[in-house]
Structure 1
């Protein structure tokens, strides 16, 4: 039952130093300079180097979150990985981060939760259950994604806008709360966002068709399906939180695209001043998007202690997820 006594004690994020400007993408696509920014609202996005693996970026974001929470790795009771795409199939990315934090002999539970772009919200929900049940005092949640390795440049709609990075939080008991949480899946949209390779069906042993190892997206279909369900979803989420829209101090959406952010703001009748938008210089960071925008909001004073925020987004599935928190 909500509310759940859970405090976001610290936030952190990591952005690769290698930036790809929109004009660089214009050249890659054979477009005139300025077309990517005009069409997609993107100025730049980060691209990870070979050394900047998912677990490396996640560990850096985690350390920054722990610094804010004034705790160390030895204070953690649970590590939850929430990447859209894992660093490797086995073992989980959470295991790799546990090792990088120097906890390889600790026995601290570490496992992954995957809900693509909404993995962070689902992991936050699980963390709340562990803390409420007294099974954990402090939980580390991280999301890290390297979209740049799986882009199909024949489809500029997706290839141009996805960026790399990581975000993390440390949560535990305190004055904060999760006021409500919701997650809904509509498998009628299962073909709208697909990465076919990497599992048991399409793999190097069995062979694959051209393009199976690249992300495929029908953005119009994904938005059309999500938009039909999103207004009622948010209305119910806020009702269960006991809030009206004007009582929200901040809206932290998944940075799906500039157009999606604009349409969502209008469709949900949200004040633009409360919506935190970092898309232009981050792009769509898959699961890392929501924890990264959360960290940005905290470090830039857009979200302060006691404030109420809506974390909201959509993901492959098609799924809709949202969490209302009191920070």
Structure 2
């Protein structure tokens, strides 16, 4: 689910006074969807309705709602209860809370929902990711970074697998907090007091990213991480039918392909058309691959991503 408005990089070039083609050359992104009349809850609810329709699940059957957004609707309360209310799920019929691992939030929420279902704590879970990534971007200081992002949402319904159907074969996350400051929005939490430190709050209210530091950590550790995900699943690279990665940037996807040796034709790449949708990136790519007929019963999927923090995440799924 994406907002109606599409913003081309050439349009941004004109607005910002760049030469034609500048932003697409430095970012690799040619277009992105941007919220104009929609808000984050609109996107989340629309994506949830589509997922419920495809799964043939009514709102009254859902007993777990997990918000898996990189940026919440507001600091407090969590986003999930508001989406639960928008969907018409009655009070007390479900648990609703958020799981935040920035760009890896969807994978983290999937793992949590699957674990609760396996333990008999939940029967039917709804996981949604909705992010308005077009806000708080550093257009003046880092236009190459700001041009990477777009808005979007996606959702999934999880139930217990029947015998002979697909399942999660492995799920793994590793964190490298030495690069914690490489990707951040410092304001909005408790770090800066809005009343006592207004200048510091304002100075840290926009997104910033140190691409070189992120590249260093990824280049050093990511290939081994992918090997470990595959080992946990009992797979070899040849067993993978489709790789669905976080769409960090077109350049990051090229680097991932080179590092891991994954065949290019098996990697879902929508970054140039949609930009980086933060947590909604992986489920959006997954949905597009499904609609394009690239996923069928028995397909072996490898979901991969990186997130601020810095963390790597991977999940092996047999459909």
- Give the TM-score normalised by the residue count of structure 2: 0.95
Q: 1:144 aligns with which of 110, 123, 130?
A: 130
Question: How many residues are matched?
Answer: 313
Deviation for aligned residue 1:203: 4.5
Aligned to 2:223: 231
Aligned to 1:82: 68
Aligned to 1:18: 5
Cα distance in 2 for partners of 1:57, 1:104 equals 20
Deviation for aligned residue 1:292: 0.6
Cα distance in 2 for partners of 1:136, 1:188 equals 36
Deviation for aligned residue 1:284: 0.4
Please give the secondary structure, in 1, of the residue aligned with 2:12.
helix
Deviation for aligned residue 1:158: 1.5
Cα distance in 2 for partners of 1:306, 1:88 equals 39
1:153-174 per-residue CA deviation (whole Å, 9 max, x = no partner) reads: 1211211111011111111112
Cα distance in 2 for partners of 1:230, 1:56 equals 35
Aligned to 1:272: 264
**Residues 60 and 93, structure 2, Cα contact 8 Å, conserved in 1:** no
1:100-133 per-residue CA deviation (whole Å, 9 max, x = no partner) reads: 0012424310000000000111001101111100
Unaligned runs of 5+ in 1: 1-13
1:116-153 per-residue CA deviation (whole Å, 9 max, x = no partner) reads: 00011100110111110011121100111111121111
Deviation for aligned residue 1:234: 0.5
**Residues 202 and 208, structure 1, Cα contact 8 Å, conserved in 2:** no
Q: 2:190 aligns with which of 188, 200, 216?
A: 200
Q: Is 1:42 aligned to residue 58 of structure 2?
A: no
Q: Is 1:185 aligned to residue 175 of structure 2?
A: yes
Aligned to 1:159: 146
Aligned to 2:205: 213
Query: Runs of 4+ in structure 1 displaced over 3 angstroms?
Result: none
RMSD across aligned positions (CA): 1.2
1:70-99 per-residue CA deviation (whole Å, 9 max, x = no partner) reads: 111111110000100100011111011001
**Residues 68 and 99, structure 2, Cα contact 8 Å, conserved in 1:** yes
Please give the secondary structure, in 2, of the residue aligned with 1:152.
coil
Aligned to 1:176: 166
**Residues 193 and 215, structure 1, Cα contact 8 Å, conserved in 2:** yes
**Residues 117 and 123, structure 2, Cα contact 8 Å, conserved in 1:** yes
Unaligned runs of 5+ in 2: none
**Residues 252 and 311, structure 1, Cα contact 8 Å, conserved in 2:** yes
Please give the secondary structure, in 2, of the residue aligned with 1:80.
strand
Cα distance in 2 for partners of 1:159, 1:211 equals 16
**Residues 118 and 313, structure 1, Cα contact 8 Å, conserved in 2:** yes
- Give the TM-score normalised by the residue count of structure 1: 0.93
